[in-house]
């Protein structure tokens, strides 16, 4: 992304068109530098994890257009569960997706350290939840040659300070979802100061106020908040992807227009 907004790579999700991964990448390739492959795999919703032929096609598209990929690992798993079977499922799911997408040489993997429950309080027993997260990460990373800096733990609904020591101890990177920070009413300036230097990936999307709907076009976001964040992002520098994490063409188009308006400002 050139101009006055810095040199980061601009991306968006693989769910802009109501079509498969390859169709979305073909549509997006002239417009973005990176595509976030939002993957799922569950009994309830099936799987969109690409097979070998689809991976080969995605690899060719990346080479043709100079694209990178970020891979959003499935979110339905519970690595902090008190049940060993659920932790094993989480690790197995991560392994399958990483093995399948390895030929794409992803810029980074977005990882949710899901809570036992949604919201600001991830578990009724936070020490046990954190211990179980540690077990899952140890089982996953200890048995694989995973580059820790390629695993980018996302800021979710709970205060990131809860998992920050674990993230640092494991040498992991961060996915700073500033929209989640805004939507939960957390201190955005403090989050940017603490986490942006460690954020290989940033998720940017519109949020209609504290507690409001997120993953909208950027035009619904307080322009002061957005402007302050873009200024900090540009000042930070570094090699990172900024993903417009929206899920339809309308929200992508409006978000690109908002970014362009900030780029033109002196």
Residue 176: closest CA among 110, 78, 254, 247: 110
Dump pLDDT digits (tens) for 190-242: 999 999 999 999 999 999 999 999 999 999 999 999 999 999 999 998 899 99
Q: What is the pLDDT of residue 44?
A: 79
> pTM of the prediction?
0.96
Q: How confident is the model at residue 27 (pLDDT cuts 50, 70, 90)?
A: very high
User: What is the pLDDT averaged over residues 72-80?
Assistant: 96
Beta-sheet strands, E only, within 84-212: 108-111, 151-154, 173-177, 199-204
- For CA atoms 132, 44, 151, 85, give the dihedral sign: positive
- Nearest one of 152, 144, 150, 55 to 104, comparing CA atoms: 55
pLDDT band at 3 (very low <50, low <70, confident <90, very high): very low
Q: What is the set of domains in the chain, with CATH numbers?
A: 3-264 (3.20.20.150)
Kindly state the tokens that stand for 177.
Answer: 């979802």
| pLDDT, tens only, 144-200 | 889 999 999 999 999 999 999 999 999 999 999 999 999 999 999 999 999 999 999
Per residue in 79-131, pLDDT (tens digit) is: 999 999 999 999 999 999 999 999 999 999 999 999 999 999 999 999 999 99
Q: For residue 177, what is the DSSP state? A: E
Residue pair 127/80 in contact by the 8 Å Cβ criterion: no
CA distance 175 to 206: 17
Return the sign of the alpha-carbon dihedral for residues 120, 122, 128, 131.
negative
- Measured between alpha carbons, how far is 181 from 235 in angstroms, rounded to an integer? 20
pLDDT of residue 194: 98
Predicted local distance difference test score (pLDDT) of residue 1? 52
Which pLDDT score is estimated for 265?
80
pLDDT, one tens digit per residue, over 49-66 is: 999 999 999 999 999 999
Describe the chain by its helix, strand, coil percentages, rounded to 5.
50, 15, 35
């Amino acid at each position: 992304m050139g101009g006055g907004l810095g040199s980061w790579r601009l991306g968006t999700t693989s769910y802009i068109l109501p079509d498969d991964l390859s169709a979305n990448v073909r549509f997006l390739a002239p417009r973005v530098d990176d595509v976030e492959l939002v993957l799922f795999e569950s009994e309830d919703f099936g799987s969109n994890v690409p097979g070998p032929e689809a991976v080969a096609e995605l690899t060719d598209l990346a080479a043709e257009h100079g694209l990178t990929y970020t891979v959003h690992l499935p979110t339905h798993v519970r690595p902090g569960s008190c049940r060993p079977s659920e932790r094993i499922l989480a690790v197995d799911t991560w392994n399958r997706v990483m093995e399948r997408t390895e030929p794409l040489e992803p810029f980074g993997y977005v990882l949710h350290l899901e809570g036992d429950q949604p919201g600001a309080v991830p578990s009724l027993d936070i020490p046990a939840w954190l211990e179980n997260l540690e077990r899952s990460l140890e089982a996953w990373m200890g048995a694989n040659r995973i580059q820790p800096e390629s695993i980018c733990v996302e800021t979710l609904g709970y205060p990131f300070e809860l998992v920050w020591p674990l993230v640092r101890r494991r040498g992991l990177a961060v996915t700073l979802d500033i929209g989640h920070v805004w939507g939960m009413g957390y201190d955005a300036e403090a989050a940017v100061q603490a986490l942006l230097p460690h954020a290989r990936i940033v998720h940017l999307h519109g949020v209609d106020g504290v507690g409001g709907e997120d993953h909208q076009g950027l035009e619904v976001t307080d322009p002061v908040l957005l402007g302050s964040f873009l200024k900090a992002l540009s000042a930070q520098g570094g090699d990172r992807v900024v993903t417009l994490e929206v899920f339809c063409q309308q929200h992508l188009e409006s978000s690109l227009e908002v970014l362009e308006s900030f780029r033109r400002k002196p």
